[in-house]
Amino acid sequence: MTSLQPGDKAPSFNGIDQDGKKVSLSSLKGKKVILYCYPKDLTSTCTVQACNLRDHHKTLVKKGYVVIGVSPDDEALHQKFRAKHALPFTLLADTDQKILKAYGVWGEKSMYGRKYMGVLRTTFVINEKGIIERVITKPRSSEHAEEILDPAY
């Protein structure tokens, strides 16, 4: 579980998106950022979450947000995921888990009694000054945009 809290400065990051373009937190200064960290492209829960953000993307943009997903998948898989589900936002390929580790969401997980390292699904809402406003741990994938838009959710 991440140790980052609202009021903390968001860790800087540099990543490569699905098209091979560099994306950094500093390049987004002055914009509100939804940085959602998820385990794997083209899997059921991750697809539900991404499609929920897609379906509410226009509302999120109207509210001034830039949506960025980050997972350990590579650029090619991100391209496939975006194309298959018409995702209108950036997906960062964090194959070395530098961003995920900086945000404290790369950790031990357990499934069917087997322990392994993976992404602890978490979303960070970062303000225009690079300060974390909200940390949503274990987001509800099918209602994720609503969680982001309504702090009381």
Token duo for residue 81: 């995921």
| Exposed e or buried b per residue across 130-144, where buried means at least 16 C-beta atoms within 10 angstroms of its C-beta | bebbebbeebebeeb
Verify whether residue 46 is a known catalytic residue: yes
Among 4, 25, 35, 46, the active-site one is 46
CB atoms within 10 A of CB 63: 12
Distance between CA 72 and CA 18 in Å, rounded?
12
Asked if 77 contacts 47 with a C-beta cutoff of 8 angstroms, the reply is no
CB-count burial class (<10 Å; 0-12, 13-18, 19+) for 119: buried
Signed CA dihedral, 32, 56, 38, 79: sign only: negative
Would you please indicate which residues are annotated as catalytic (active-site) residues? Answer: 46
